[in-house]
Amino acid sequence: MAGLHVSKVALKDVRVVCFGAGSAGTGIADQISDAIATESGREKADAMKQVWCIDKQGLLLKSQGDSLTETQRFFAKEDGEWPEGEDIDLLSVIKRVKPHVLIGTSTKPGAFTEKIIREMARHVEHPIVFPLSNPTRLHEAQPQDLAEWTDGKALVATGSPFPPVEFNGVTKEIAECNNSTAFPGIGLGAVLSRTRRVSEKMIVAASKALAAKAPALEDPNKPLLPDVEDVRELSLNVAKAVIQTAVEEGLAQEEGIPEDEGDLEEWIRVQMWEAEYQELEKV
């Protein structure tokens, strides 16, 4: 979400390529599709058309039949959507799709080559590239290379910690893309609202709340995600978004949830656990 804000691409218009269509890749693709559908008010099946998944056989196509897992079938494209005889490898997909976002969950080190990244950068001003495979040795690309291949324009988050990179005298900080800054607030909001379930709209609201605090919104050389050291204040903001959405959807069962935003923040804050020891007195 933060990357889209920085690159000025609307969520409803985003084009995403997921390289690696195992459980992680298809899970990410599914969540992105939910977010697009929620934002645009369209059916999820229509939103999924903006996501292209690639696995060991190349772009997922319906004709691949039994070689596809049950989850992969949801993202497989109709063969008629792809020119007959055209390659279905990552570079070919990048050339035709011109994605704003490239996500790696393939555990294939170096898969995002200079040629692939430069091709992506030809079509979008700020390529959003997330090499998420763990551990570090399995990353699809190194942040330093991504900066150099895009003249410093790539917006990068990784699955493992990386030090800042230097390009043309500018230091670019790299965000570690994991759920540690999101889940505490989602759980807090769900518990305090006593929601019947955690809906897709709540997850999207949580993502937006988190993205709104991204340092990159003020400076594109800063990380795309807030620091985990700020998790307490982040959790409050995420919880607030989750609770407000639960109320809007009629899922919140807790009575007396404040409507005023300031009152709601205080209501959440006083119920947050303080991670500290109480002072003991010897008697």
pLDDT digits (tens, 9 = 90+) for 161-219: 999 999 999 999 999 998 888 999 999 999 999 999 999 999 999 999 999 999 999 99
User: Could you tell me if residue 281 is inside a domain?
Assistant: no
- Asked if 144 and 213 sit in the same domain, the reply is no
What's the CA gap between 251 and 27, in Å, rounded? 24
Measure the CA dihedral 244/247/251/252, to 10°.
90
Of 177, 203, 218, the one marking the end of a domain is: 177
- Asked if 31 and 136 sit in the same domain, the reply is yes
- Asked if 127 and 8 sit in the same domain, the reply is yes
- Asked if 88 and 163 sit in the same domain, the reply is yes
- Mean pLDDT, rounded, of the chain: 94
- Inter-residue contact 153 to 124 (CB < 8 Å): no
User: Could you tell me if residue 283 is inside a domain?
Assistant: no
User: Could you tell me if residue 46 is inside a domain?
Assistant: yes
- Asked if 154 and 213 sit in the same domain, the reply is no
- Asked if 119 and 189 sit in the same domain, the reply is no
Does pTM surpass 0.75? yes
What's the CA gap between 274 and 278, in Å, rounded? 10
- Asked if 27 and 94 sit in the same domain, the reply is yes
Of 159, 177, 195, the one marking the end of a domain is: 177
In order of 30, 64, 143, 199, the CA distances from 73 in angstroms are: 12, 9, 32, 23
Q: What is the pLDDT of residue 29?
A: 97
User: Could you tell me if residue 36 is inside a domain?
Assistant: yes
- Asked if 194 and 172 sit in the same domain, the reply is no
Q: What is the pLDDT of residue 277?
A: 80
- The CATH number of the domain holding residue 133 is 3.40.50.720
User: Could you tell me if residue 156 is inside a domain?
Assistant: yes
How many domains in the chain? 2
10-residue block means of pLDDT along the chain (283 residues)? 91 96 95 94 95 96 92 93 89 97 97 98 96 94 97 95 93 91 95 96 95 92 90 95 97 95 96 84 83
Q: What is the pLDDT of residue 174?
A: 95
- Asked if 140 and 185 sit in the same domain, the reply is no
pLDDT digits (tens, 9 = 90+) for 262-274: 999 999 999 998 8
- Asked if 213 and 165 sit in the same domain, the reply is no
- Asked if 221 and 106 sit in the same domain, the reply is no
Of 177, 208, 227, the one marking the end of a domain is: 177
User: Could you tell me if residue 274 is inside a domain?
Assistant: no
User: Could you tell me if residue 252 is inside a domain?
Assistant: yes
Domain hosting 147: range is 2-177
Q: What is the pLDDT of residue 279?
A: 83
Q: What is the pLDDT of residue 210?
A: 93
What's the CA gap between 24 and 132, in Å, rounded? 10
Q: Which residues are annotated as a binding site?
A: 134, 178
Residue 91's CB is within 10 A of a number of other CB atoms, namely: 13
- Asked if 145 and 185 sit in the same domain, the reply is no
Q: What is the pLDDT of residue 62?
A: 93
Residue 281 DSSP SS3:
coil
Q: Which residues are annotated as a binding site for (S)-malate?
A: 134, 178
User: Could you tell me if residue 282 is inside a domain?
Assistant: no
